[in-house]
């Protein structure tokens, strides 16, 4: 197919158009994903999530600028929410990314979430695959302003940054389940705020509770050493303890340190075998989902809707149990 | 899957100091179910054409209050054509003298909306101009 070939050859207009077809799940878009699949799996997928107003877009802007200094090609997928009432959306992440215009090594694409609740859109994974095949070295995925449970990004990205800002909540917020648990790197943005110290302490406390291998802690300004618990992993190097980094994205502060932390995480993923494991888990989940969808479609073609409705009527009348009905329906498909 | 969404870039080229009008239009298009990419103040024609390309939009709305529309608008059209985006509808809003309207349309602008124009008209014009089966 010409569009997919043009994308592989670096045609930006073709890439933009194919991204729309993938986003709209048109037959052409889906066929293109099949065609480019062997070319995927090379890019580093960097997720950026966090509450609205923590500075995700400004931070993405800075991260991209720094990767450009290393001559890496950067794609940005910025997801913003769709209105649940009208289906419309205002996608405003580009406002903070104007430093990146005019650079052919950068491609920014805004996406509306279109009803998905996990912080990404349904088609985000496909869009990322297309950027991957098009030869981008780093793909930064910015989620919708996420609250506490939008954790889809951790399944998609290799490295997940959770962006916090000082003064957004007390330390009980830090030990709740959800978004903080998916962080590979915790970024405290707006670190010029005087409350940065207490935010950082809350996050450190949260990490110490989650990772008992950590051995040094502060108490009343004094450092104490605690031996690792007996039941902790013997091979500590295999465990990634989330790093904390401070940034002021609007002033480009803290970026070299953040980029270094991302580099450490990539090195860890490679050495520990986690990179391969994450790829495997992701592809398995995708395969499983598509297999279920495919089987469902196959089933609908084989078994008339009236047959299914007939079984359901029997279930409603308590003549047959749901599980028994399913096994009888499936036998019909095989017959 | 879901119906195809109309994607619109709303941009402010030039040196205008505020973007209230552009935000009103962006909001109205959102409420009409469209996906609006909003890029903010002080955009160059180059920035607008690049955003229109990357976002693969169906339409571009340019809001201009400064009087520089006869310089800025044809430049945006020219750059977008050079990028191969010849089918994208371009509309202009803001303070545009009547005598400039035909000249802008000649330059490839679909419609021009002055102060007091209704957002319903903008929405219905966009819907009418964009094929839904793309």
Check CB contact of B84 with chain A, cutoff 8 Å. Answer: yes
pLDDT band with cut points at 50, 70 and 90 for residue B43: very high
ipTM: 0.91
Report the alpha-carbon distance of residue A223 to residue B11 in Å, rounded. 54
Task: Note the pLDDT of residue A286.
Answer: 85
Residue of A nearest to B8 (CA): A90
Beta bridge partners of A295: none
Beta-carbon-side half-sphere exposure of residue A42 (alpha carbons within 13 Å):
16
Task: Note the pLDDT of residue B2.
Answer: 47
Distance of residue B39 Cα from the nearest chain A Cα, in angstroms: 5
Beta bridge partners of A32: none
Using DSSP, state whether B44 is helix, strand or coil: coil
Under an 8 A CB cutoff, do A86 and B31 touch? yes
Q: Classify the C-alpha dihedral B85-B91-B92-B98 as positive or negative.
A: positive
Region for A184 from its dihedrals, namely left if φ exceeds 0, alpha if ψ lies in -120 to 50, beta otherwise: alpha
Distance of residue B73 Cα from the nearest chain A Cα, in angstroms: 19
Under an 8 A CB cutoff, do B54 and A83 touch? no
Check CB contact of B82 with chain A, cutoff 8 Å. Answer: no
**Tokens standing for B133?**
């089966």
DSSP A135-168: T-SEEEEEPSS--SS--HHHHH-SEEEEEE-TTS
The answer to whether B55 touches A16, Cβ cutoff 8 Å, is yes
Task: Note the pLDDT of residue B104.
Answer: 95
* DSSP E strands, chain B: 7-11, 35-38, 59-64, 89-94, 111-113
Mean pLDDT, residues B24-28 taken together: 94
Residues of B in contact with A115 (CB under 8 A): 2
Report the alpha-carbon distance of residue B39 to residue B8 in Å, rounded. 11
Out of A88, A91, A110, whose CB is closest to B31?
A88
Count other C-beta atoms under 10 Å from residue B100's C-beta. Answer: 16
Residue B134 has pLDDT above 60, yes or no: no
**Tokens standing for A292?**
């279920």
Nearest 5°: CA angle at B78, between B22 and B71? 60
Spell out which chain A residues touch chain B, with contact meaning CB-CB distance below 8 angstroms. 12-13, 16-17, 19-20, 24-25, 82-83, 86-92, 94-95, 98, 101-102, 107-110, 112, 114-115
Task: Note the pLDDT of residue A266.
Answer: 96
Residue B1 has pLDDT above 50, yes or no: no
Under an 8 A CB cutoff, do A98 and B39 touch? yes
Under an 8 A CB cutoff, do A94 and B51 touch? yes
Cβ contacts of residue A26 below 8 Å, gap of 6+? none
The answer to whether B100 touches B69, Cβ cutoff 8 Å, is yes
Task: Note the pLDDT of residue A332.
Answer: 82
Report the alpha-carbon distance of residue A274 to residue A158 in Å, rounded. 9
**Mode of pairing for the β-strands spanning A222-225 and A74-80:** unpaired
Q: What percent of chain B has pLDDT over 70?
A: 96
Encode burial over B33-44: b for 16+ CB neighbours within 10 A, e otherwise.
bbbbbbbbbebb
What digits encode the pLDDT tens for the residues B50-93? 999 999 999 999 999 988 999 999 999 999 999 999 999 999 99
Check CB contact of B34 with chain A, cutoff 8 Å. Answer: yes
Per-residue pLDDT of chain A (335 residues; tens, 9 = 90+): 689 999 999 999 999 999 999 999 999 999 999 999 999 999 999 999 988 888 999 999 999 999 999 999 999 999 999 998 899 999 999 999 989 988 999 999 999 999 887 788 889 999 999 999 999 999 999 998 876 667 788 889 999 999 988 877 655 555 555 677 889 999 999 999 998 988 888 888 878 777 665 555 556 666 666 565 555 554 555 688 899 999 999 999 999 999 999 999 999 999 999 999 988 988 898 898 889 888 888 888 888 889 999 999 999 999 999 999 999 988 887 66
Residues in chain A: 335
Residue of A nearest to B55 (CA): A109
Under an 8 A CB cutoff, do B37 and A107 touch? no
Q: Can you tell me which residue has the tokens 């229109």?
A: B52
Out of B34, B36, B54, whose CB is closest to A108?
B54
């Amino acid at each position: 197919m010409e569009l997919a070939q043009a994308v592989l050859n670096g045609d930006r207009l073709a890439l933009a158009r194919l991204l729309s077809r993938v986003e709209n799940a048109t037959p052409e878009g889906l066929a293109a994903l099949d065609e480019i699949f062997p070319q995927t799996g090379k890019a580093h997928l960097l997720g950026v999530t966090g509450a609205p107003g923590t500075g995700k877009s400004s931070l993405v802007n800075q991260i991209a600028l720094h990767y450009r200094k290393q001559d890496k090609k950067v794609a940005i997928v910025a997801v913003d929410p769709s209105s649940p009432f009208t289906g419309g959306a205002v996608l405003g992440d580009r406002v903070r990314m104007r430093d990146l215009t005019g650079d052919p090594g950068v491609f920014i694409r805004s996406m509306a979430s279109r009803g998905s609740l996990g912080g990404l859109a349904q088609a985000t994974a496909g869009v990322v695959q297309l950027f991957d095949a098009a030869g981008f070295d780093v793909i930064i995925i910015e989620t919708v302003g996420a609250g506490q449970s939008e954790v889809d990004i951790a399944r998609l990205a290799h490295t997940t940054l959770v962006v916090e800002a000082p003064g957004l909540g007390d330390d009980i917020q830090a030990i709740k389940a959800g978004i903080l648990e998916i962080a590979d790197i915790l970024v405290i943005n707006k670190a010029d705020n005087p409350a940065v110290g207490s935010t950082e302490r809350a996050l450190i406390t949260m990490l110490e509770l989650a990772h008992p291998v950590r051995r040094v802690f502060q108490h009343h300004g004094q450092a104490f050493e605690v031996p690792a618990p007996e039941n902790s992993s013997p091979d500590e190097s295999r465990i990634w303890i989330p790093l904390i980094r401070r940034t002021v994205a609007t002033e480009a502060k803290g970026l070299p340190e953040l980029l270094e932390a991302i580099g450490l995480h990539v090195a860890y993923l490679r050495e520990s075998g986690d990179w391969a494991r994450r790829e495997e888990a992701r592809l398995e989940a995708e395969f499983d989902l598509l297999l279920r969808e495919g089987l469902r479609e196959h089933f609908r073609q084989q078994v008339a809707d009236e047959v299914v409705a007939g079984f359901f009527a029997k279930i409603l009348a308590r003549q047959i149990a749901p599980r028994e009905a399913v096994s009888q329906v499936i036998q019909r498909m095989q017959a | 899957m879901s119906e195809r969404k109309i994607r619109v870039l709303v941009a402010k080229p030039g040196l205008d100091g505020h973007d209230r009008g552009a935000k009103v239009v962006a909001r109205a298009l959102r409420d009409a179910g469209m996906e609006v990419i909003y890029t903010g103040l002080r955009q160059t024609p180059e920035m607008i054409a690049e955003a229109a390309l990357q976002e693969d939009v169906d339409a571009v709305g340019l809001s201009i209050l400064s009087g520089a529309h006869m310089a800025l608008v044809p430049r945006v059209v020219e750059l977008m054509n050079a990028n191969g985006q010849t089918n994208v509808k371009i509309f202009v809003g803001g303070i545009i003298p009547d005598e400039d309207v035909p000249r802008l349309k000649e330059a490839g602008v679909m419609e021009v909306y002055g102060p007091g124009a209704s957002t319903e008209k903008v929405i219905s014009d966009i819907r009418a101009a964009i094929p839904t089966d793309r």
